[in-house]
Amino acid sequence: MNKGLVEVRDVGKVFHSNWGSIEALKEVNFRCNQSEFVSIVGASGCGKTTLLRIIAGLEPPSDGEVLIDGENIDGPGYGRAVVFQEPRLFPWLTVEKNTTLGIQGVEKQDEVKKIVASSLQLVGLTQFSKAYPYELSGGMAQRVSLARALTFKPKVFLMDEPFSALDAQTRARMQEEIIDLWQKTGKTVILVTHDIEEALTVSQKIMIMSPSPGTIKEVLEVPFAYPRNPDGLEFINMRKTILEAIR
């Protein structure tokens, strides 16, 4: 039972503040099939993070609904693991304990240990299990947050620009790893990014958002096989198309 069908129906979001209201999202509609890797791209401020937070259940929509495998969501839930822009690790817990946080409903200690060990192995951090977050580099810390998301055993991964704070080399490596993880686990992934090349490198489908109010302007299938070649002519052409669409 490895599902993970995400349906977003007529989702709108209005933020109210002292100086007025802002319509962040309007009539957002899309469908993300199970085991699909989808990216949401758009200029900053177009509401892509808000949309992801609504799917995560961290923010209620003002309008419309989000369904996971046909069920209406109401707040955060077990099916969805969020990877934030910053690693957001707990400074007082070791890598191992931070990873353990994602585990729910497993009572046996050796069972817990096994899950944590395998998650840390998947992200290549086995030897750092006893380290504290302050001892890790940015890329390692973000991998721990990935491991934490893995132990949560979600149907859907929701990632909010998880690599934007990393240097170019680390980012490229993390992108490879995320493709690898996705292929191994077969989970649905929704990735928010402002980096068009990143979206083209990792995802099967790209949703382009336009701002004020944020809405989905275009959905593109990425027809290339993995691993993708960023120097290929088709890749470059597609990047141009998306870039123009965002403008």
Partner 1 sequence: MQINQEKTEKKSDRHGNPHNRIKLVNILRGAVFPLAVIAVWELAARSSLVNTYILPPPSEILKTFLHMLATGVWEEHLLASLRRLVYGFFLTIVFAVPMGILVGKARGFRHWVNPTLHFLQQIPPIAWIPIFMLLLGIDEASKVAVIVYASFFPVFLNTVQGVTSVDPKLIEVGHAYMLSPWKMVKKVYIPSAAMSIFVGLRLGLSNCWRALVGAELLGASSGIGYLIIEGRQLAQSDKIFVAMFTIGAAGMLIDFFLRKIENKLMPWKKMYQAGERK
Binding site residues, partner 1, CB under 8 A: 56-58, 75-78, 80-82, 84, 86-93, 101-102, 104, 128, 131-138, 141, 148, 152
Nearer to partner 1 (CB atom), residue 53 or residue 194: 53
Nearer to partner 1 (CB atom), residue 35 or residue 94: 94
Alpha carbon distance 103, 106 (integer Å): 7
68 has which bridge partners?
6, 71
Nearer to partner 1 (CB atom), residue 152 or residue 182: 152
81 has which bridge partners?
157
Considering the complex, what minimum distance in angstroms separates the CB of residue 159 from partner 1? 12
Considering the complex, what minimum distance in angstroms separates the CB of residue 57 from partner 1? 8
- H helix runs in 76-216, sequence order: 95-100, 109-122, 138-151, 168-185, 196-202
Considering the complex, what minimum distance in angstroms separates the CB of residue 127 from partner 1? 8
Q: How many CB atoms lie within 10 A of CB 47?
A: 27
Nearer to partner 1 (CB atom), residue 72 or residue 90: 90
Considering the complex, what minimum distance in angstroms separates the CB of residue 17 from partner 1? 17
Nearer to partner 1 (CB atom), residue 98 or residue 201: 98
Alpha carbon distance 208, 152 (integer Å): 29
| Sign of the Cα pseudo-torsion (235, 180, 96, 189, in order) | positive
Quick one: tokens of 240? 């141009």
**Total residues belonging to the chain:** 247
67 has which bridge partners?
7, 72
Considering the complex, what minimum distance in angstroms separates the CB of residue 197 from partner 1? 26
Considering the complex, what minimum distance in angstroms separates the CB of residue 181 from partner 1? 18
H/E element, 13: strand 6-17
Nearer to partner 1 (CB atom), residue 57 or residue 214: 57
Cβ neighbourhood burial of 198 (10 Å; 0-12, 13-18, 19+)? buried
